[in-house]
Amino acid sequence: MSSPTPFSPEQLTIVPANEASREDVAAVFGTTDAGRCQCQRFKVAGWIWRDTTQQERTEMLGSQTACGIPAAADTSGLVAYVDGEPVGWAAVQPRTAYPKLRTSRVVWAGRDEDKDDDGVWAVTCLVVRRGYRGRGLTYPLAAAAVAHARDRGARALEAYPMVTHPGKQITWGELHGGAHQVFEEAGLKEVTRPTVRRSVMRIDFADTPRGLS
């Protein structure tokens, strides 16, 4: 059986989330894993499922994205559309916007740098809407996250993807940060491999001529 055909660039549009609607973001997230989390895993105090409610997480995401406010100075991600239909999400902000990254042993294993440096951004989650998966949408989402961070003044962008292996079963909860090869194609390079299946990747924009990232 042949693989589904990737969407063409002409079909695809990716915009900052403040230029999208809350309804569009909700359609991408659906009602299962991503819809429950609302991209708050690295932001909420305490244990996400114990110390927050679904309504609280939904309201937090709505505030962070500034959906429907095109003039907003900040937003927390990007929304992808295929032929006008909302299909994808990338969470990308300054690394300091994610309090739980600051205390992550995975993120900081073997590293010694300023954890409060807001010039370093992070892309922490890629979501593709059910029914549109398996057609390569995480690749343009990762590339758009790189461009978005750079355009917003970031000095560098990090990601914390999973290293996938043939025959090894994975779940959405493991792969929410994206796959290693997706960020490799977007220009990021591995900094550390803190676990067998998790890597820390980074692109420093001062080292990358504009137009090549």
Q: Would you list the DSSP string of 130-168?
A: TTSTTSSTHHHHHHHHHHHHHHTT-SEEEE--B---TT-
Q: Which of 2-6, 33-37, 115-119 has the least mean pLDDT?
A: 2-6
At 161-207, the pLDDT tens digits run: 999 866 555 554 567 899 999 999 999 999 999 988 899 999 999 87
Tokens of 177: 């940060």
Q: Say what the pLDDT of residue 99 is.
A: 96
**H or E segment and range at residue 16:** strand 12-16
**Which runs of E-coded beta strand occur in 65-154?**
77-82, 85-94, 120-128
The CATH number that domain 9-205 falls under is: 3.40.630.30
Q: Please determine, for residue 93, whether its predicted confidence score (pLDDT) is greater than 90.
A: yes
For the chain, the structural domain boundaries read 9-205
What distance, in Å, lies between the first and last C-alpha atoms of the chain?
Answer: 34
Has residue 4 got a pLDDT over 90?
A: no
Which three-class secondary structure state does DSSP give residue 134?
coil
What gap in Å lies between CA 12 and CA 66, rounded to an integer?
Answer: 22
More confident residue, 82 or 176: 82
Question: Using alpha carbons only, how large is the chain's radius of gyration in Å?
Answer: 16
The answer on pLDDT for 208 being more than 70 is no
Cβ partners under 8 Å of residue 151, min gap 6:
none
Q: At what angle do helices 54-65 and 22-29 cross, to 10 degrees?
A: 130
Among 12-21, 92-101, 163-172, 188-197, the range scoring the smallest mean pLDDT is: 163-172
Q: Which of 18-22, 46-50, 121-125, 158-162 has the lowest mean pLDDT?
A: 46-50
pLDDT of residue 79: 98
User: What pLDDT does residue 143 have?
Assistant: 98
pLDDT of residue 167: 59
**Residue 209 pLDDT grade (very low, low, confident, very high; cuts 50, 70, 90):** low
Q: What is the pTM of this model?
A: 0.92
pLDDT, mean of residues 38-53: 93
Identify the three-state secondary structure at position 92: strand
Contacts of 169 (CB under 8 A, 6+ apart): none
pLDDT at 176: 87
Dihedral pair phi/psi, residue 96, rounded to 5°: -70, -10
Contact 160, 198 (CB under 8 A): yes
Quote the pLDDT of residue 196.
87
Is residue 107 over pLDDT 80?
A: yes
Average of per-residue pLDDT across 122-151: 96
pLDDT, average across residues 15-23: 98
